[in-house]
Amino acid sequence: MSVRCRFAPAPSGSLHVGNVRTGLFSWAFARHHGGAFVLRIEDTDASRVTEGAFHGVMDSLRWLGIDWDEGPDVGGPHQPYRQSQRMGIYREMADRLLSLGAAYRCYCTEEELEARRRAALERGEPPGYDGRCRELTDAERAAFEAEGRASAIRFRMPEREWVVDDLVKGEVRWGPGQLRDFVLMRADGSPLFLLAVAVDDLLMGITHVIRGDDLLASAPRNAAVIEALGGVPPAYAHVPQVNGPDGKPLSKRHGSTSVEAFREHGILPEALMNYLSLLGWSRDAETTFLSRDELIEAFDLDRVSSNPARFDVQKLEWMNNHYIQTLDDDDLAARCLHFLSVAGLSPEPGLLRRAMPLVKERMKTLAEAPRLLRFLFTDDIEPNEAAAELIAKAPEGYLASAAEALGAVREWSAEAIAGALDGLAAASGLNRTKGWQPVRAAVTGSNVSPPLPESLELLGRERTVERLRAVA
């Protein structure tokens, strides 16, 4: 059997990292087994969907390194791959279920359904459709239609035990009568999730559905629709949700939650893919870092946990720093350029490349590049509060002496600069830390910078001395 997996996001906003983690698992499973990965867009709810979000979903996936064999942009044998363009298919399949006796028309109004739901709760019974329209006679249907009642199409759920042998959760059972009849098509002719998903999985030949465990209860319903249409249900794997550090579902109250936001924050795609792959899965007890190819080679569902994973931004940033350190200077400089440009800086390429060794170990994210390197690419330096305080507390004449000492350095190198600064500090009765701090503050405008001698070497003698004299 050739494996076929799918990821079916709804483009109603930025792509949530919890959703893309599930999509990553599906993609890695398909790639591991040499199968096909399908991108399908669930955009039937026009009130929530935007074209910008649709394109944003695909852009985020591509940036992360997830590719697909079939989808709305690349086509494929089962197109279209946007549910909004498959409405005719859903209506045809709903009509087929009606003709097979697997579905029926339901004339119950929203008010009637709500009243019966409340009554069931008051009796201490679980709410659910009571089958009122399940066995209507032709005369009863005609009477409802004469009243002008609109009808939804409701699936006739077989009253038997349903078993899903879930590849993550294990065997899950629902007893006879536990699963009630459910709506496939609204009275306005729009399909519900339970119909659209089942029809698409059937017609697209999906063999494995890997999705969040919030959809576990949908599995027997999806399977029932597929069986009623003469198909074989796919294997299901329901992965646990991603929580925040507090154990609650990851949401905006925890900070950034979208791929787009982490991209703008300066997280590398390699780091984010690696980190997301370890949220609920592991290759073994020791492995932390995995390349894209290593993930594909190692991934399978037998090591997916059935417990929720916790998203830890600090661990992601730690992992991101590891990946930053593995980049060569040219690559890192190219990736930093966007963030420097957004900050209004126009770095000279050669100088930017030479600065990379100074910041590799210090940057948790690329978005920190402007803060660390601003002093190199503009002479419009305004000391921050901490730097201004260091400048003000410097011994009288100290910064003027620093300008003189550095101006006299014969060979402008980090080693010679460090020697001159140490000599000045010692002559002033200061240790290295106390002696270097005001110089750092005056030249960089900050109390924190890359290593000072190396920074001044890159900045150059003339600019260094000029800045010291400006505040002396």
Rounded CA separation 443/457 (Å): 12
Rounded CA separation 217/220 (Å): 7
> Is residue 405 within 8 Å of residue 420, measured between CB atoms?
yes
> Is residue 235 within 8 Å of residue 229, measured between CB atoms?
no
For 260-346, list the strands marked E by DSSP: 309-310
For 160, phi and psi rounded to 5 degrees? -145, 175
Rounded CA separation 235/171 (Å): 12
Rounded CA separation 438/447 (Å): 8
Q: Give the contacts of 433 (CB within 8 A, at least 6 positions apart).
A: none
252, 364, 393, 434: which is the annotated catalytic residue? 252
The per-residue b/e assignment along 435-467, b for 16 or more CB within 10 angstroms, e otherwise, is: bbbbbbbbbbbbbebbebbbbbbbbeeebbbeb
Q: Give the contacts of 187 (CB within 8 A, at least 6 positions apart).
A: 150, 151, 152
CA–chain centroid gap for 245, Å, is 16
Cα angle value 134/139/143 (rounded, 5°): 90
> Is residue 17 within 8 Å of residue 250, measured between CB atoms?
yes
Q: 252 catalytic, yes or no?
A: yes
Rounded CA separation 376/351 (Å): 8
> Is residue 34 within 8 Å of residue 53, measured between CB atoms?
no
Instruction: Report helix, strand or coil for 210.
Output: strand
Rounded CA separation 436/426 (Å): 11
Supply the residues annotated as catalytic. 252
